[in-house]
Structure 1
Amino acid sequence: MSEFIQSKTILGTVKRPDTWFGNSYNLNLFRGCSHGCIYCDSRSSCYQIQNFDHIQIKGNALELLHKELRSKKKRGTISFGSMNDCYMPIEAKQQLTRKALEIVALHKFPVHIITKGTLVTRDIDLLKEISKVYAAVSITITTSDDDLAKRIEPHAPSSSERFNALKQLREAGIYAGITLMPILPFINDSVENITQLVEMAANSNAAYIIASMGMTIREGQREYFYAKLDQEFPGLKDKYIATFGDQYGCGSPNGKKLQKTFQDACKKYNIPTKMQFYQPETDSQLTLF
């Protein structure tokens, strides 16, 4: 289900320097998401989205984006989809993300797209154009096992499909890599999973992998997650409660070993574990032209 809504603003400013993704602005063209990931932090009560599975389309988003980009004095990286996936299935019909990318290209702003949606390959032409300034695509992949992915990310493309999309982006010359997060304790926090993911990323020519060996679990998100654990992993909810109580963050008890495994595997395949961020042109650079 979906409906159109009107928004007062469209670009959110990142208050602190983003050392993970290099973003200065957040752009969410929709409210809610249809991927159904059982762990999604955006379900948390603090975001005040009553029915997260009901998609709200910001009907005036493009008009606002034109207006707000014209007024921005700082040219910084725009993150697409911090609260939802900008390439979920509804985008195929609405093409709101594509039209927003056209506006971003016109205003010559850098972008960083974080997605599980393979539809991102549709917009390779625009990403190439934006890459003249800066464009990055991070594809979230949490497990090397397509069957497990179906259980924890039921309506998202399979992990195999996402790796294929990554390969297509890289072959097109797009700066693209993987966000390996979240890692769910007792579900995908195995050495085997981490090792296989890095190997598969290398085979897809990932430009980087950003990893975090844990997950958030807070009010609103927690209740939904626990209900899904009862359905998909009976008995595991009690283990979460006993291990983590009402903590905000749940790091894998295997975290240190997983982090070492991750770092060693990335070193083996020569894959950076940090992104290269957009660098504004300096006065000295401008004089060259």
Structure 2
Amino acid sequence: MHYINAKSILSNKNGMNLYRGCTHGCIYCDSRSNVYNMDHAFEDIEIKENATELLKKALKNKKEKVMIGTGSMTDPYIPLERKIQSVRESLELIYKYGHGFTCITKSNLILRDLDLLKKINENGKAVVQMTLTTYDEELCKILEPNVCTTRERVKVLKTLNDNNIPTIVWLCPILPFINDTKENINGILDYCIEANVKGIICFGMGMTLREGNREYFYHKLDKHFLGLKEKYIKTYGNSYGIASPNQNELMRIFHKRTSENNIMNNPDEIFKYLHEFPSRDKTKQTTLF
């Protein structure tokens, strides 16, 4: 790990990245792509030493209450967070200044901060977004080796639901010829229904590959799925977005089952929900979420 002093912490859409780089080791990670111009090793975590100071100033000066988001580039709950506690310090500030919070994670470490998530949600709104890629526990250990497995993440979703904190699942990526099966999609959807998730984001059954993450992904295919790299190259070449041959069938299953169970499945609708901070009157309605 290494420290830097950042010039700012919040984007114009109120997103933040407290860390840069990740140690979860997911074999498909798009954040490895060269397009993001990372000038250090991906596993050498960059820590914004002045993040708390910058966030405090930014939140204090906001005229309206907003949703603060994190996790779009780097999972905020990497193991290093246990020691550094940048996320927890940020949550304390978000609660203090009356804003909302949402994050994307794969880690059960988020339950460490359940107390603050509950306070933020009672005061306004907190939403946890959890990525689920595979129902198969052993496959999960290959695809996402250094973070808790799907079953543990579902326990997190259920715990959050028990504490009235709404949850959104990212159903992605779906890797062609690996986890693009009816059994996998139905298994994940079963989990989502059990956990009473509010919505599931799915842009299609496939994944993205570009310079930087493609090489890492192919290296892992050679290690765990011998011969599959050649099939990818023959089928997709250097395409950025690659769709599963089973996409149409799997998307029919996705839309049918989410609709039947009153789970939001329109990405635009879900993003609108994630970005909206409730009005003062609505924050008093405990049944809203």
TM-score normalized by structure 1? 0.89
1:91–1:280: structure 2 CA closer, same or farther, 3 Å change rule?
closer
1:283–1:58: structure 2 CA closer, same or farther, 3 Å change rule?
closer
Aligned: 1:34 with 2:23: yes
1:227 to 219, 223, 233: 219
What is the rounded CA distance, in whole Å, between the counterparts of 1:279 and 1:32 in structure 2?
Answer: 28
Q: CA deviation at 1:6?
A: 1.6
**Aligned residue for 1:196?**
187
- Does structure 1 conserve the Cα–Cα contact (< 8 Å) formed by 2:102 and 2:274? no
Q: CA deviation at 1:37?
A: 0.3
Aligned: 1:182 with 2:173: yes
**Aligned residue for 1:7?**
6
- Does structure 2 conserve the Cα–Cα contact (< 8 Å) formed by 1:33 and 1:84? yes
Deviations 1:121-179 (A, max 9, x none): 11111112221322110111100111001101110101111111111111011011311
* Displacement over 4 Å in runs of 4+: 280-286
- Does structure 1 conserve the Cα–Cα contact (< 8 Å) formed by 2:125 and 2:278? no
**Aligned residue for 2:52?**
62
- Does structure 2 conserve the Cα–Cα contact (< 8 Å) formed by 1:207 and 1:272? yes
Q: CA deviation at 1:284?
A: 9.7
Matched residues, percent identical? 44
**Aligned residue for 1:273?**
265
Deviations 1:226-261 (A, max 9, x none): 111111111111111111111111121211111101
Q: CA deviation at 1:118?
A: 0.3
What is the rounded CA distance, in whole Å, between the counterparts of 1:269 and 1:178 in structure 2?
Answer: 14
3-state SS in 2 of match to 1:262: helix
**Aligned residue for 2:147?**
156
**Aligned residue for 1:216?**
208
Q: What RMSD, in angstroms, separates the aligned Cα atoms of the two structures? A: 1.9
1:280–1:267: structure 2 CA closer, same or farther, 3 Å change rule?
closer
Which ranges in structure 1 are unaligned for 5 or more consecutive residues? 14-23
What is the rounded CA distance, in whole Å, between the counterparts of 2:125 and 2:274 in structure 1?
Answer: 8
3-state SS in 2 of match to 1:136: strand
TM-score normalized by structure 2? 0.89
3-state SS in 2 of match to 1:79: strand
**Aligned residue for 1:52?**
42
What is the rounded CA distance, in whole Å, between the counterparts of 1:39 and 1:91 in structure 2?
Answer: 22
**Aligned residue for 2:86?**
96
**Aligned residue for 1:78?**
68
1:123 to 106, 113, 118: 113
What is the rounded CA distance, in whole Å, between the counterparts of 1:215 and 1:150 in structure 2?
Answer: 18
Aligned length: 275
**Aligned residue for 2:287?**
none
